[in-house]
Chains A and B, each alone.
Chain A
Amino acid sequence: MNFKYDNNNKYHRLGKNILVVLASLIIFVELWWFIAELIDSRVLPTPPETFAALKDFLANGYLNISAWDYISSSLVLFLKGFLLAFVVAVPLGLVLGFSKTLNTFVTPIVEVLRPIAPMAWAPIFIYGISYGTGPILVVFIGIFFPLLTNIIFGVKKIDPTLVDAARTLGANKMQVFTKVMAPSSIPYVMNGIKVGLGVGWMCIVAAEMYSPVAIGVGYCISNMCMSGLWDSTFAILIIIAILGILTTSLSEYLQKYISKRMGVE
């Protein structure tokens, strides 16, 4: 065979990347296996034990609840938290980027709240409000702050000559907003969403661990650990990782696509 690697060929690059990723995953699993055999503890199952537990969980669920029910309830809570953060942060960020006075007024509040780890709110929201709404609010906090700061930053970065251009074409304040400010800030909104989704996904899993009832993959983790089902716990970790990768790649893809469509790269 006389195959020659060509770095300018899209398919060659893709093929090479797939091989490298595969190699990385294989080495990861091998390493995990090696350590598991080495310490030989129930707490760290080997890859085959874990995959067996994963198959069992997907087929039979846990505590008479199906795997899909756990996964979907996590995803729904995550989505609700995200939507809530989105509808609050986008208008607020645009307004705060726009008005200096409001920004000065709100900044201290934001700066006091922002350093608090979203997870610190979890017990308050879950025991204090409800185990249904609590996790949503935790996700909200996790996504809200990165989204808000990105949007404010985006509005401040808007090229003032674009605003001048619209004004000399007769745009009023509202039109400057809809024709220039809002579209200019979309890539920053997308960047905020990308960062926010990553944080939010961590939050939902962690928040569910406080849940007193059987909802979500986070609940599975804490309950399985307490019951000594280490194999199953690791199976859940794999599910969490895969769903996390899917959300981040989706948002990354969307962000790149939209930035390109908006003419900013």
Chain B
Amino acid sequence: MDENTTCTGNECVQEGESFIRIDNLSKTYQKDEKVTVAIEDFDLDIKKGELISIVGPSGCGKTTILRMIAGLLEPTSGSISIAGRPCSGPGPDRGMVFQDFALLPWRSVRRNVELGLEIAGMPKEERKARAEKYLEIVGLQDFADSSINELSGGMKQRVGIARALVNNPDVILMDEPFGALDAQTRNIMQAGLVRILEKTDQTIIFITHSVDEAVFLSDRIVILTKRPAKIKEIVEIPWPRPRDRASPEFTALRKRILEELEKENVLQ
């Protein structure tokens, strides 16, 4: 069963080494006569504890890459491995945070966070304590028993992040996690994510349409070409976090990346 393949290995890889290796990844969608090459020969090495953003023109194949890493989508060719173990099929070692939250509305906040632990068969008291710890990390300890429908968008996504964190995955995959939020909430969430990074040293692959967000958060930004997506450039950002959006180097870098993306869009 591919669903049971686990790629645990948190302990055996030191920070800084190549942790996630994506090799020659390709994806071609075929629907009747229509063939869409979404990804071609995509290679990427990701270090443990790194936050890597992927930006690129709309429809270039970002979601496709992430869903293949998550194991929700079968690659046409190529391979993905974590800590040396190949992954196929989804598993709790790769958490995912969804743009539209994907929370179960019939469960309370805490029971949503507990979901992965419940699936893993953890005893009730233990998972309750663990869920509460992660609710505290995302600042929702006072809402543990609230229903999902009572929460604002930003709070919902914090539940989504806690739900992914609680499993202690090797990597968290985020597909435009703040895309459904207003600008102000978005900034708050970004700052919150930076704090979580300080506390947990979580490896994150982060897809976004906002270059500003990418520069604010990332250790590296992968800029993709238009479809079929190839890597156009990888930008390293060695600056410590939290970062100052108003600083000249921040604005200069943001401007340069935007210009790169602009070229891709103009070509279409």
Say whether B105 contacts A166, CB under 8 Å: no
Say whether A161 contacts B102, CB under 8 Å: yes
Say whether A168 contacts B90, CB under 8 Å: yes
Q: Which of B86-113 contact A (CB under 8 A)?
A: 90-92, 94-96, 98, 100, 102-107
Contacts of B148 in A (CB 8 A): 263
Q: Which of A171-206 contact B (CB under 8 A)?
A: 171-173, 175, 179-180, 183, 186
Tell me the bound Cα distance from A180 to B70 in angstroms: 19
Given contacts A167-B3, A169-B163, contact A263 B105 (CB under 8 A): yes
Given contacts A172-B3, A175-B119, A179-B118, contact A167 B90 (CB under 8 A): yes
A30 interface residue per 8 A CB criterion:
no
B1 interface residue per 8 A CB criterion:
yes
Residue picked from A162, A168, A264, most chain B C-beta under 10 Å:
A168
B149 interface residue per 8 A CB criterion:
yes
Say whether B100 contacts A168, CB under 8 Å: no
Given contacts A161-B98, A169-B95, A172-B4, contact A262 B106 (CB under 8 A): yes
Contacts of A175 in B (CB 8 A): 119
Contacts of B72 in A (CB 8 A): 164, 167-168
- Count of A-B contacts judged by CB separation below 8 Å: 77
Interface size on B, residues (CB 8 A): 31
Residue among B1, B103, B116, B163 making CB contact with A172, cutoff 8 Å = B1
Contacts of B26 in A (CB 8 A): none
Contacts of B173 in A (CB 8 A): 168
Tell me the bound Cα distance from A164 to B69 in angstroms: 13
Q: Which residue of B lies closest to A169 (CB)?
A: B116
Say whether B3 contacts A164, CB under 8 Å: no
Tell me the bound Cα distance from A263 to B159 in angstroms: 16
Q: Which residue of A lies closest to B89 (CB)?
A: A167
Tell me the bound Cα distance from A237 to B198 in angstroms: 73
Tell me the bound Cα distance from A183 to B96 in angstroms: 21
Tell me the bound Cα distance from A180 to B106 in angstroms: 10
Tell me the bound Cα distance from A175 to B163 in angstroms: 17
Given contacts A164-B98, A165-B96, A263-B147, contact A170 B119 (CB under 8 A): yes
Contacts of B119 in A (CB 8 A): 166, 169-171, 175, 179
Binding site for A on B (CB under 8 A): 1, 3-4, 70-72, 90-92, 94-96, 98, 100, 102-107, 115-116, 118-120, 147-149, 163, 167, 173
Binding site for B on A (CB under 8 A): 159, 161-162, 164-173, 175, 179-180, 183, 186, 261-265
